[in-house]
Each structure stands twice: as C-alpha cells, then as structure tokens.
A = this chain, B = another copy of it.
Amino acid sequence: MIHSPNRIIINTSALQGNYKFLTSKVGQTCQTAAVVKANGYGLGVDVVIPALEQAGAKFFYVAHFAEALTVRELTSAPIAVLGGLPRGAADDYRHNRIVPVLNTAEDIAGCPADLPAIWHIDTGMNRLGLSVNEVSALASQAKSLPILMMTHFTSSDDAESSHATEQVRKFDDCIAGLPKPFQLIPQSICNSSGIFRNENWHRAQTRPGVALYGANPTPETKNPMSPVVTMETRILQIRTARAGETVGYNQTETVEKDTLLATVGLGYADGFLRSGSSRAKLYWHGQPCKIMGRVSMDLIVVDINNLKNCPSPKQGDWLEVLGNHQSADQLAIDLGTISYEVLTSLSHRAERVIRTTH
C-alpha cells in the first residue's frame, strides 16, 4: 500500500457517456475525435484511451510528439500532434504512424509527400496555424494533399461572442479560394464548446477535449456533461487554534476565536494552486471548509469549526476536493483560473482509483 493522502477517482462510465453524448450532437458522417493531450487532461491516458476507444473513439489529438509516443502504446488509431512537425522529426512521425498538424510554411516544406498531415489555418487565434494570406500559395505548390483542414476557435465558450462566426466565415472563404482538390478535403473546426454552438460547424470531425472530462462547454447554462473526476484528500491532523493565533506560512491569517482546524495532505505540489490560499474550499458532507492561511507545498489547513448536522471529521477521514459539491469549474473560480488548469494540474502524487459504473 502507498498510503496516499490524495485519491483521484475516475469514472470511466461517465467519460464514455460524455463521449457518446458529444457524438450524439453531430451527424452520422461526422467523426468525434478525442483530445487527450496533457496526459488526458490530467486523468491518465492509460485509463482514458481504452475507455474512449470502447466508447467508439477512433482518432486522438495530443500536443507533443512525446505524448503521441505514449498514446501509440495504447492504441493503433490515428494520433495527431497539434504542435507541428519539428525539423528532422518526419521519419519518427512516419515510423510511429503519427500525423503532424502543419502550422507553418516550414512545417509544410519539411513534411514528406507520403506522411499524412493536417493543415491548420489560423482564423484569429494568432497562436499556431497558417495565415489565410499564405495558404493559397502553399496549396498551389503542395507536394501532396493533407488529410484534414482545421482551424481553432478563440471564444466558442462565450455565448455572447460572435468571433466564432467570423472565424468560420474566414475559414470557409479561405478554403473556397484554394485549388479545387483542397475544397474536397474533410474539415475540422469545433472544440468542445463549438460543438454546441452551430450544427453547420461540425463538418467531418469535431475535436472535444475538456467536455469529455466533465467541464461545462456552455458556461452560460447548466452543464450538460457528467462529472468524471472526484478528488479527495485525507485529514492528517485535527487541532484547535486558539483565538489570536495565526495559521500557516508567514502568519497571513489569524483566527478570531478558538477554531477547529483540519490539516490535509494536499498542496500546490499536488496541483492545488497556491492562489487558493485563504479563499478556496474543501467539502465535508456537502459543507464548505474554507482554507485558512497559505496553501503550502504538501499541506492545506481548513476551518471545520462551523459544520452542522453531520458527524465531526476525524484524522484519517477524506475531504472532497472535486466531486458532487465542488466541480472543477467551481473550484477554478476560487483559484482564479479555469477548469482546464484545475484538471491538468491534478496530482501526479495522488492515488488513482477507477470506477466503471455510475
């Protein structure tokens, strides 16, 4: 036994349900690829890939080639690398049947004609991707056709923004100006949120990521996805701090009256961001226990003084970090970030427990 003070419980049935739900949103001819970068958004590709394949996933996206190599051990399906084609890497991509997403003229020049590839057109991220201005010249000189033309949304999670609509128009206009064969190539536009915004954007393939793992792709409404991750942390000590005493590093928080505190074995080295100091909460029987003082590397202290109508927590009990009472989206607010960072920061030190039923 490793006696870990943290456990991440992954509900693979919920993950599979989310995959199937996302598939149900698109037509029969549209493929739902699965984005599994950052080790399956922190859940572990060793768990995520088999579960998604069983649910029907036949195409995976990662960020880096090294990630693709890890995923290649787990599946024979196509794996695409969003981060492009580094100089001198073409043979390694081909040998491992990895599909590069080509973002630059240099990427395209370095891609052999017999290496299947995706062209990424930038329509407003200004991050990765071929500019609309350069695509035309590159297409007319192309050694071979890409297997997919893609673009990526900036703001599809924002129901108030019209930028996604502008981006799709720019993408469509760009493609319409390319040589005829390019107009017949399958297209991929939608991330998680995009899938929910407009059916006309689904095209040949969608690329959901965070929604698979339970985060809300439509923040303006109730989350249509099922929670996949529960995280719990064990109480290492319970103590009473006396009125006037301080808690934690640099004495940043003072208790005003005698206060019952619980110390748990979770800290920023477990991916619980230090920005949650004196602000974020853990839960006990559905009741919030506010963090007192600074989140330290391996420990957090929470206030358990005002719990009502429930058993008192004891050393060895587990508090909820993520679960029924605190979603990754909700915790993210107290950490000053988004659910994506909450998930991808999840502990490499935590014990993982797999659940296969709801």
Q: Give residues in A with beta carbon < 8 Å to B.
A: 1-5, 37-39, 42, 63-67, 69, 82-84, 86-89, 92, 103-104, 106, 122, 124-129, 131, 154-155, 157-158, 161, 163, 234, 236-239, 241, 245-251, 255, 261, 263, 265, 267-269, 271, 273-275, 292-293, 296-299, 301, 315-316, 336-338, 340-341, 344-345, 348-349, 351
Contacts and interface: CB of A to CB of B under 8 A. Distances in A.
A306 to B, nearest CB: 17
A274 B341 contact: yes
A346 to B, nearest CB: 10
Report the copy number of this chain in the oligomer: 2
Given A63-B297, A344-B297, A83 B5 contact: yes
Majority SS at the chain A contact face: loop
Contacts of A255: 126
Contact of A237 (B5, B103, B248): B103
A64 B347 CA distance: 13
A245 to B, nearest CB: 6
A63 B263 CA distance: 13
Contacts of A155: 249-251
A104 B315 contact: yes
Contact of A127 (B122, B157, B234, B247): B247
